[in-house]
Amino acid sequence: MKAEFTAIIEAAPEGGYWAICPEIPGANGQGNTIEETKDSLRQAIELILEDRKADILRGLPDDAIRETVLVG
């Protein structure tokens, strides 16, 4: 799945950077460089979305229809 999300990156008081993604509550990352921080945030977003998908699919009945929806 490809999508674009917003990364809000700030310098951390103790050094390095931290980041959040406003579109995905709970997604945050940190690193020594901006690129490391973005990669950390990317991984957090992927894990959260995978977990949410797995969680909802566990409860679906067998006759539920699964389709793909494109946004953009």
Q: What is the Cα–Cα distance from 31 to 67, expressed in whole angstroms?
A: 37
Asked whether residue 63 is assigned to any structural domain, the reply reads no
Asked whether residue 36 is assigned to any structural domain, the reply reads yes
Per-residue pLDDT, 22? 98
Structural contact between residues 17 and 33, judged by C-beta atoms closer than 8 angstroms: yes
Asked whether residue 68 is assigned to any structural domain, the reply reads no
Asked whether residue 72 is assigned to any structural domain, the reply reads no
Per-residue pLDDT, 25? 96
Asked whether residue 1 is assigned to any structural domain, the reply reads no
- pLDDT above 70: percentage of residues in the chain: 99
Total domains in the fold of the chain: 1
What one-letter code names the amino acid at 19?
Answer: A
Per-residue pLDDT, 45? 97
47: containing domain: 8-58
Single pTM value for the model: 0.85
Model pLDDT for residues 11-65, shown as the tens digit of each residue: 999 999 999 999 999 999 999 999 999 999 999 999 999 999 999 999 899 899 9
Per-residue pLDDT, 33? 98
Question: Residue 11 to residues 19, 30, 33, 38: CA-CA distances in angstroms?
Answer: 9, 10, 9, 13
Asked whether residue 39 is assigned to any structural domain, the reply reads yes
